[in-house]
Structure 1
Amino acid sequence: MLIAEVSEKFSIPQDTLRYYERIGLIPRVNRNKSGIRDYTEEDCKWVEFIKCMRGAGLPVEVLIEYVGLFQQGDDTLEARKELLIEQRLQLFSRIQEMSKILDRLDDKIARYEQTIGKKEKSLRRSSD
């Protein structure tokens, strides 16, 4: 699959895909005889994984570390698991924090709706 196709499939700019490869965020992509990147199904799985993890807020540095550990083989299974557990804990903490913020916003919106509703009733009464 060509880079343009991968870019479109995952809604990631081609420059970003090149950058991810350059910094080791995704393993090096093979090239065809013309020197053009030729993404395999496995490469696409990496792109999908990285997009998901970045969407969840995982830092680039952590993901580079994870990819590096993966490339070292099964001797790093425990280290990879621990890295993901730590990131999960941090993500869970952020989700809890965001949930509190969401509750606060909902309360604030409800107060505005209540205030606006009272003013509308008042205006209707005064115009009767």
Structure 2
Amino acid sequence: MSEQPAVGIRDVSERTGISVDTLRWYEREGLIPEVGRGTDGRRRYTPAVLRWVRTVQALRRTGMPVAEVREFVQAGPQTLERHRYRLALLERQSAAIDEQLARLTADRSLIGAKIESYRQIVEAGMDCEDPAADRLADEVFARWTADPADR
């Protein structure tokens, strides 16, 4: 299996959605391994470096602080301990993502209930300040928070 050729910074930007300036910043900040240069002096991203860019992108999107991303990337020499350290960082981040997903799921449910209550209030032609609208909203929230199957 042959390795794909290295690509330039614009291509990496298009593939990842990360701006060229941000890619350069990632490099300066030590968030990606050293990017090689072609004979013309331009950055050349190998498939391995591109995988690092995507990993860093995912870690940042999931809320890992820059300092921890840097630790992950620069974690010592090529040893088994380095891999154990990286594994521990990734497992902690995965657990944090699970917690974030649970919070987002609960928040989405609450927002869904609010949307449904507004839909019903609008369909009924009620004013939001109408006490009947408030009772309707209470009923919708009770249904939405009790059992998703009842929606």
TM (norm. structure 2) is 0.73
Which structure has the highest helix share of the two?
Answer: 1
Q: Of residues 113, 118, 123 in structure 1, which corresponds to 2:119?
A: 113
Give 1:10's aligned amino acid.
T
**Letter in structure 2 aligned against 1:56:** T
1:51 counterpart = 2:62: no
Instruction: Considering Cα pairs closer than 8 Å and 6+ residues apart, tell me whether 1 or 2 has the greater RCO.
Output: 1
- Equivalence for 2:130: none
* Residue 37 of structure 2 corresponds to residue 31 of structure 1: yes
% identical aligned pairs: 32
Match of 1:72 among 61, 77, 82: 77
Q: Distance in 1 between matches of 2:38 and 2:123?
A: 65
Q: Which stretch of structure 1 is more off in the superposition, 48-57 or 101-110? A: 48-57
Q: Residues 6-25 of structure 1 correspond to what in structure 2 (within 5 A)?
A: 6-25=12-31
Say yes or no: does 1:2 pair with 2:11.
Answer: no
Distance in 2 of aligned mates of 1:39 and 1:14: 12
**In the comparison of the two structures, how many residue pairs are matched?**
119
| Structure 1 residues not aligned, in runs of 5+ | 121-128
Alpha-carbon RMSD: 1.5
TM-score, structure 1 normalization:
0.85
Cα-to-partner distance string for 1:72-114 (whole Å, 9 max, x where unaligned): 2222122111111111111111111111111110111111111
**2:57 pairs with 1:62:** no
Q: Which residue of 2 aligns with 1:85?
A: 91
**1:52 deviation in Å?**
2.0
